[in-house]
Structure 1
Amino acid sequence: MDPRFRLALQWLLNAVALMLLPQVITDLRVDSYAAALVTVLLLALINTLIRPILIFITLPITLLTLGLFTLVINALLFWAVASLVSGVYVPDFWTAFWAALLYSLLAWLASVALSGRDGRQVRIVTTRRRN
């Protein structure tokens, strides 16, 4: 699969996952698919650029909590991105916490669906026998 197509499909599937969250988390509101697309794009940028810095800064507390503090970081970033996008409403930290956790799970499932069972892309290799 072409990497650009896979990236676009991953983006669309993550937006669908975000649109499904209000079905489970009633306090969360996503008004439109366009708002979901923008939110997913901003989440990807923030998770790529800012999240590693926050994890490094909070490394001592992350180690003390055996990595569970990264869930708090994810919730805070999810809450921050939702506050930047009109059309996505997250009222409090706990809503952001559960939404970020469920969104991460759904995004991971979409990623696995687009790749092989072990996270690598599926490639079919054929060999010819020479006589």
Structure 2
Amino acid sequence: MLNFLTTLVITALSMMITSYIIPGITINNFQAALVAAFVFGIVNAIIKPILVFFTLPVTILSLGLFLFVINAICFSLVAYFTPGLRVNSFLDALFGSILVSFISSVLNSWLK
């Protein structure tokens, strides 16, 4: 349970930092970031594997680069389902998903 809460807070912090760096991504407050992090976890656990399965040929042909597009789609879905998170364009979602992953990885490695 503590690991889940730690991951949730780290993802929320990553989203807040990303919203300060990328002007096309806005988060109203930290509570909205926590909700977005929770929805992000659900989307990554349920919807992302389905997208990866159905786009496997394209992913193989692009040597895995299409996974960035899938991450951006998932990030856009999170913004759609979360009231306090707004993403202006697909490009913002693409860079935002990359930055959230990078910042989360750095914070996770820093804590462990």
Query: Do they fold alike, i.e. is TM over 0.5?
Result: yes
Bin for the TM-score computed over the shorter chain? over 0.9
Q: Which has the higher contact order (CA 8 A, sep 6+)?
A: 2
Q: Secondary structure at the match of 1:50?
A: helix
Give the Cα separation in 2 of the matches to 1:48 and 1:108.
Answer: 17
Q: Which residue of 1 aligns with 2:18?
A: 21
What is the deviation of 1:108?
1.6
What is the deviation of 1:114?
3.4
Deviations 1:49-101 (A, max 9, x none): 11111101100000000000000000011011101111111011000000001
Q: Provide the aligned length of Structure 1 versus Structure 2.
A: 112
- Whichever structure has more helix as a proportion of its residues is 2
Q: Secondary structure at the match of 2:24?
A: coil
Q: 1:85 aligns with which of 82, 87, 92?
A: 82
Give the 4+ runs in structure 1 shifted more than 6 A: none
Gaps of 5+ in 1: 116-131
Q: Does 1:31 align with 2:14?
A: no
Q: Secondary structure at the match of 1:98?
A: helix
Q: What's the Cα RMSD here? A: 1.1
Higher-Rg member (1/2): 1
Name which of structure 1's ranges 103-112 and 87-96 shifts more when overlaid on structure 2.
Answer: 103-112
TM-score (norm 1): 0.81
